[in-house]
Amino acid sequence: MKDTTKISKKITLHYAAAFAVYFAAFCMVRSFISVYLIDKGFTYTQVGIITGIHMFITAVIQPNFSKILDRFPKLGLRRFITLCCIPAILCSVLTFFLPSNLLFFLPIYILFGICEIGLQSLMVSVGMEYVNAGIPVNAGIGRGFGSVGYAIANILLGSLIVKYGSAISQKLNIVLMLLLAVLIITLPDPNQFRTEEQTEEEKDEAPSDDLLTFLRSNHVFALFSLSLIFLFFAHSIVNTYLPDVAAQFGKKTDFVGALTGLAAGLELIPMMFYNQISKKISPLKLLYISAVFFSIKILTAALAPSAGWLIASQAMQILAYALFSMSSIYFANQAVRPHNRVMAQGLLVGANEAGFMVGGLIGGIVLDYLNVQTLLRMGVIVSVIGSVLMIIAVKKFKREKA
């Protein structure tokens, strides 16, 4: 028992460090994408096209990673993630040499979507491999450290862009993806902790369903995923175009970095203490709370008369995305059959990315032809629709479970 506890703590810290580095790298590619591309000479519409297609590819690939891993079982999660780091690093290098042309940058951001942003669900699954092998890795601590890494990266990157220019994000991405590859590949092999019985059970486990079969046989989960597309459409408006929202009040990227860092840092509290929170308030009720606060967050940004209101809006992340990120893992595990759980986690991230895709694409067009306030009002309407759909999906799940 003592040995298991010691091993669990060691792996949890190692895994948490990898999660922190991953989300710091995520920040380099995603958080200031509009700033970087605008500096490269792209229009807002072109930024919307690049981010939209980039996120569409990410959304599509997420639920299908399980099928790739089914086809190449000897590859394993850790090796697969490590291999994905190589083209992501190459993409960052190419941004320094290729001309600022849509035909060149679109393939780069498609690869970023597949090989870097697309790793989210696989990073979660790495931790679950240890849990399934009998090593109780604390997923909340791992995801919480991810928020810390993201928060620190945002705060530092906002200031570094002001001082050194937006290209610094790609230089840092190279370093962080190299570090991620090292941290992931040096994690202990989960198979060494499995019993013979666990290994045999895994061999007998059915392969995951294809996506259409999965959605047809999981109506509640399909509705839940649809709600995320609406919610993350609105969420993407605030995240992707936050520099433009803040610019209304004369604020620059250092302020934006601090705002995003605040939101990510506050996520740490419910993630680190999620086990204790969920014992007092059920994960399904926490999903209700998060659904409501997703909409309140963007409404606050839309009504903001000053930059201070943007701080209040970002602070609501603690009751919006933070509660959702952990509660949705519980929902995915309960709402689908065991052999489809990896696909379910991938579909959650895929729906997230689909929302970001549509929000990024429409947001760029709106900013080119209308204004930030119109974009925010649109986001409020779409977010309320998403909140209602999520509440309906969770209620249906509770009725079916009962």
pLDDT tens, position by position, 245-259: 787 777 776 777 777
Report the pLDDT value the prediction gives residue 362, as an integer from 0 to 100: 80
**Alpha carbons within 13 A on the beta-carbon side of 166:** 18
Lowest mean pLDDT among 6-15, 128-137, 201-210, 301-310: 201-210
Q: Summarize the confidence of residues 86-94 as an average pLDDT.
A: 91
- Considering only CA atoms, which of 64, 393, 339 is closest in space to residue 211? 64
* DSSP state at residue 41: T
**Least confident among 50-59, 102-111, 179-188, 289-298:** 50-59
**Torsion 83-84-87-88 (CA) sign:** negative
Backbone phi, then psi, for 336, in 5-degree steps? -130, 165
**In the prediction, which pLDDT does 70 show?**
65
> Which of 70-74, 129-133, 258-262, 384-388 has the lowest average pLDDT?
70-74
Task: With a cut of 80, say whether residue 44 has pLDDT above it.
Answer: no
The answer to whether 56 and 354 have CB atoms below 8 angstroms apart is yes
Q: What is the pLDDT of residue 3?
A: 65
Residue of 350, 56, 92 whose CA lies nearest to 225: 350
Question: What would the mean pLDDT of 66-71 be, rounded to a whole number?
Answer: 66
Chain centre to alpha carbon of residue 302: 23
pLDDT number for residue 209: 61
**What is the greatest pairwise CA distance in the chain?**
63
Q: Give the CATH number for residue 395.
A: 1.20.1250.20
- Using the predicted structure, report yes or no on whether residue 206 has a pLDDT greater than 60: no
The per-residue pLDDT for range 113-125, each reduced to its tens digit, is: 888 877 877 887 7
Phi, then psi, of 234 in degrees rounded to 5: -65, -40
**Can you tell me the mean pLDDT for 268-282?**
78
Q: Would the pLDDT of 104 be above 80?
A: yes
Whether 340 has a pLDDT exceeding 70, the answer reads no
Q: What are phi and psi of 241, to 5 degrees?
A: -110, 20
| Range(s) of the domain holding residue 326 | 2-401
Backbone φ, ψ for residue 382 (5° rounding): -65, -40
Q: State yes or no: pLDDT of 269 exceeds 60.
A: yes
| 133-159 average pLDDT score | 77
Share of the chain above pLDDT 70, in %: 88
Number of domains in the chain: 1
- pTM value is 0.72
The pLDDT assigned to 89 comes to 93
Asked if residue 216 has pLDDT above 80, the reply is no
| Number of other residues whose CB lies within 10 A of the CB of residue 236 | 26
Report the pLDDT value the prediction gives residue 93, as an integer from 0 to 100: 92
Instruction: List, for residues 299-318, the tens digit of each pLDDT value.
Output: 988 888 877 788 888 888 88
Lowest mean pLDDT among 52-56, 89-93, 167-171, 296-300: 52-56
pLDDT at 310: 84
pLDDT band at 176 (very low <50, low <70, confident <90, very high): very high
Residue 204: pLDDT band by 50, 70, 90 thresholds? very low
Query: What's the mean pLDDT when you consider all of the chain?
Result: 80
- Tokens of residue 336, six digits: 């689908």
pLDDT level of residue 210 (50, 70, 90 thresholds)? low
Sequential DSSP letters for 308-369: HHHHHHHHGGGTTHHHHHHHHHHHHHHHS-GGGHHHHHHHHHHHHHHHHHHHHHHHHHHHHH
